[in-house]
């Protein structure tokens, strides 16, 4: 093992969180129905991002129980995709975000998109990021002193 390998540990310390991307028709109540369906199964939506267009919206969600959500979507035929995300805690409003972005830039890894999650029960502000290389991004953020959250940490 080289010195570089020992400095950059890209093995996760838990299960990397996933987000679901769902295409919803742009009609009143579509998102409400989706969230209500999950809530009826005791699944909390803890992160939400909506990209709207005239006819449809891409809804990205992070949930408290991804395995059950996947099963429900499969059983009900709800088309979706999943992708890994990096989730970090921001302790400073502006400074923490700047430091995270600078850390990713210095590591030469791209941030595709980001959105905040609903506050963690311990009051932490959480940022979900879709990165070019999630495991590498998590590793460099962790080494820069950021608290990285894994799926187990997000369960409510």
Q: Tell me how many domains the chain contains.
A: 2
- Sequence-ordered list of residues with C-beta below 8 angstroms from that of 74, at least 6 positions apart, any chain: none
Q: pLDDT per residue over 83-139, tens digit each?
A: 999 999 987 566 788 899 999 999 999 999 999 998 776 777 899 999 999 999 999
The residue from 53, 83, 113 where one domain ends is: 83
DSSP output for 43-80 = --EEEEEEEE-SSEEEEEEEES-HHHHHHHHHHHT--E
Query: In the numeric block, which tokens belong to residue 140?
Result: 């460099």
Statement to judge: residues 102 and 131 lie in one domain: yes
Q: Is the pTM of this model over 0.85?
A: no
Ramachandran sector of residue 108 (left: φ over 0; alpha: ψ -120 to 50; beta: rest): left
Domain that holds residue 46: 18-83
Residue 53 has a pLDDT of 76
Instruction: Report the Cα 148 to chain-centroid distance in Å.
Output: 11
Q: pLDDT per residue over 38-69, tens digit each?
A: 999 999 999 999 988 778 889 999 999 999 99
């Amino acid at each position: 093992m080289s010195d570089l390998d020992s400095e950059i540990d890209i093995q996760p310390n838990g299960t990397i969180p996933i987000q679901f991307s769902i295409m919803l028709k742009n009609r009143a109540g579509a998102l409400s129905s989706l969230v209500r369906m999950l809530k009826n199964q005791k699944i909390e939506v803890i992160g939400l991002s909506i990209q709207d267009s005239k006819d449809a919206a891409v809804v990205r969600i992070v949930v408290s129980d991804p395995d059950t959500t996947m099963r429900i979507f499969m059983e009900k035929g709800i088309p979706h995709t999943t992708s890994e995300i990096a989730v970090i805690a921001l302790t400073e409003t502006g400074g923490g975000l700047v430091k995270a972005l600078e850390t990713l830039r210095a590591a030469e890894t791209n941030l595709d998109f980001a959105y905040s999650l609903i506050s963690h029960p311990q009051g932490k502000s959480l940022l979900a990021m879709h990165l070019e290389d999630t495991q590498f991004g998590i590793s460099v953020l962790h080494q820069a002193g950021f608290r990285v959250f894994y799926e187990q940490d997000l369960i409510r």
